[in-house]
């Protein structure tokens, strides 16, 4: 939904990766059932922007003209429009083990490039016809760090991102629609922190060699190619991921802006925070160690920050005498300051939203709590629509909305 003038025409939505959506039939069900129910409670008298998640299988389904026509009909009939797509999970994201598979195929792979190009094609056709809204597609931050070794891997990733950027230039030329790829830093990934993202952009995506490749791929002048890179490739700032890395959101935004890196999308999300981990805490947090998603842990000790690939890895190396603080990549309801006696990183969310009101950072704001199905059972009493509406109302109130 569109926010007021204080947010420079920003759009607030939630990501449909909350709902099962591995096939077009499942996506259509969410758009026909869940989205209208959310819209009815949040903005019955205005159009509702959708943060769409489409798997690779669904993208293939939507290549059929009748399926795409059905999607357009559902959106138009329901008073909905699409302005952003979550292109991070390529395959299964619900009801089965996801863990580190969520990063596959990564940006070394032609499959990731082809999928991202197809998403861009779809988004260019779905954006409102007035051309006033740019599109964004969030994606894997390169790949899972343990899988990606050596300069050859980085070169392959860089080239595929540049090829996709060139494809976005082509789309802009033929359709008049601007779409931005937003790489999403995440713990234990190639782009893990804001600092790593800034360094990677400077070394690989915004350097002279990258500009030369863009000239080759697009036929533009060097000045145009450099501008195209800054226009079409940026960062999706996920507030949970940043908080888990002990980042200050104002400092993260300042670093990206100073480097000339676009922030086309911000995901409004919060994680778990354990200020001083005890043995009792370990026992109480075990129910959050589910078999579906990866829950990276960043621990702050006297030695500095230490990273663990999942909760189980953190359990195995825990030493109570070190008095560590843990930040856990487990998306929790953004309106909660604590959960099961644990703190959350809601303060990071509040700090960013206050900044967004005073000095807008982005026009695409997306609530992304996809873990309702794996929260401990006592936190799953409300239906998913009620949970989504509660989160959206909380975020909108802090963004100056009604």
Domains of the chain, by residue range, sit at 5-270+344-398
Residue 328 DSSP SS3: strand
Mean pLDDT across the stretch 272-290? 94
Mean pLDDT across the stretch 263-280? 96
Whether omega before 137 lies within 30 degrees of 0, making that bond cis, reads no
- Please state which of the four CATH numbers 3.40.50.10860, 3.30.720.200, 3.40.605.10, 3.20.20.150 is assigned to the domain occupying 5-270+344-398: 3.20.20.150
pLDDT at 391 over 80: yes
Residue 27 DSSP SS3: helix
Separation of alpha carbons 80 and 10, rounded Å? 16
Identify the residue with better confidence: 131 or 95.
Answer: 95
The full DSSP string for 150-208 is SHHHHHHHHHHHHHHHHHHHHHHHHH---EEEEE---TTBSS-SHHHHHHHIIIIISSH
Sequence-distant (≥ 6) Cβ neighbours of residue 65 within 8 angstroms: none
Tens of pLDDT along 25-84? 999 999 999 999 999 999 999 999 999 999 999 999 999 999 999 999 999 999 999 999
Which of the four pLDDT bands, split at 50, 70 and 90, describes residue 310? very high
Quick one: 378 exposed, middle or buried, by C-beta within 10 A (0-12, 13-18, 19+)? exposed
135-139 and 270-274 strand pairing = unpaired
Q: Take residue 266 and report the two structure tokens written for it.
A: 């911000």
Q: Check: CB of residue 188 under 8 Å from CB of residue 137.
A: no
> Residue 327 forms beta bridges with which residues?
273, 298
pLDDT at 385 over 50: yes
What is each CA distance from 388 to 13, 334, 383, in whole angstroms?
10, 10, 9
Q: Of all residues in the chain, what percent carry a pLDDT higher than 90?
A: 90
Mean pLDDT value across the chain: 95
Mean pLDDT across the stretch 75-94? 96
Q: From the DSSP assignment, how many helices (H) and strands (E) are in the chain?
A: 15, 14
pLDDT at 164 over 70: yes
Separation of alpha carbons 160 and 163, rounded Å? 5
Task: Give the neighbor-by-neighbor strand order of the sheet with 325-332.
Answer: 304-308, 297-301, 325-332, 270-274, 342-344, 338-339
Quick one: 70 exposed, middle or buried, by C-beta within 10 A (0-12, 13-18, 19+)? middle
Which of the four pLDDT bands, split at 50, 70 and 90, describes residue 5? low
Which of the four pLDDT bands, split at 50, 70 and 90, describes residue 402? very low
Mean pLDDT across the stretch 246-255? 98
| Placement of tokens 């230490």 in the chain | 306
pLDDT at 102 over 50: yes
Q: Of all residues in the chain, what percent carry a pLDDT higher than 70?
A: 99
179-183 and 135-139 strand pairing = parallel
Tens of pLDDT along 182-206? 999 999 999 999 999 999 999 999 9
Sequence-distant (≥ 6) Cβ neighbours of residue 107 within 8 angstroms: 113, 139, 140, 142, 143, 156, 157, 160, 161
Separation of alpha carbons 293 and 315, rounded Å? 16
Task: Give the neighbor-by-neighbor strand order of the sheet with 179-183.
Answer: 11-14, 364-367, 262-268, 233-238, 179-183, 135-139, 80-86, 48-53
> Residue 42 forms beta bridges with which residues?
none
Determine the straight-line distance between the first and last CA of the chain, rounded to whole angstroms. 12
pLDDT at 380 over 80: no
Question: What does residue 374 show for φ and ψ, rounded to 5 degrees?
Answer: -115, 5
Query: What is the reported pLDDT for 368?
Result: 96
pTM: 0.96
Question: What does residue 31 show for φ and ψ, rounded to 5 degrees?
Answer: -70, -30
């Amino acid at each position: 939904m569109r926010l007021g003038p204080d947010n420079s025409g920003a759009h607030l939505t939630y990501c449909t990766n909350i709902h099962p959506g591995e096939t077009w039939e499942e996506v259509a069900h969410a758009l026909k059932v869940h989205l209208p129910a959310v819209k009815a409670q949040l903005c019955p008298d205005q159009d509702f922007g959708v943060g769409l998640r489409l798997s690779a299988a669904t993208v293939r389904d939507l290549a059929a003209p009748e399926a795409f026509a059905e999607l357009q009909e559902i959106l138009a009939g329901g008073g909905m429009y699409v302005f952003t797509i979550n292109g991070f999970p390529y395959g299964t994201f619900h009801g089965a083990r996801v863990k580190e598979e969520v990063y596959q195929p990564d940006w070394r792979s032609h499959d990731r490039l082809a999928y991202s190009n197809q998403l861009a094609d779809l988004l260019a056709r779905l954006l409102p016809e007035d051309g006033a809204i740019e599109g964004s597609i969030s994606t894997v931050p390169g790949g899972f760090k343990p899988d990606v070794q050596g300069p050859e891997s980085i070169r392959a990733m860089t080239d595929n991102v540049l090829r996709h950027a060139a494809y976005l230039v082509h789309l802009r030329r033929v359709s008049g629609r601007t779409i931005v790829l937003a790489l999403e830093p995440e713990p234990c990934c190639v782009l893990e922190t804001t600092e790593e993202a800034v360094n990677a952009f400077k070394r690989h995506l915004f350097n002279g060699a990258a500009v030369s490749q863009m000239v080759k791929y697009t036929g533009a002048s060097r000045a145009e190619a450099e501008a195209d890179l800054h226009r079409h490739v940026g960062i999706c700032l996920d507030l949970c991921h940043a908080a888990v890395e002990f980042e200050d959101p104002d400092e993260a935004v300042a670093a990206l802006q100073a480097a000339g890196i676009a922030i086309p999308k911000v995901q409004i999300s919060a994680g778990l925070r354990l200020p001083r981990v005890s043995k009792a805490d370990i026992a109480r947090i075990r129910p959050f160690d589910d078999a579906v998603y990866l829950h990276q842990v960043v621990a702050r000790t006297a030695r500095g920050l230490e990273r663990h690939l999942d909760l189980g890895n953190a359990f195995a190396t825990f030493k109570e005498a070190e008095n560590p603080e843990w930040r856990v990549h487990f998306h929790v309801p953004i309106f909660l300051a604590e959960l099961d006696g644990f703190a959350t990183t809601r303060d990071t969310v509040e700090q960013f939203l206050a900044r967004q009101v005073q000095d807008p950072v982005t026009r695409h704001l997306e609530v992304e709590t996809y873990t309702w199905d794996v929260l401990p059972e006592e936190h799953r009493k409300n239906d998913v629509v009620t949970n989504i509406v509660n989160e959206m109302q909380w975020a909108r109130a802090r963004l100056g909305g009604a």
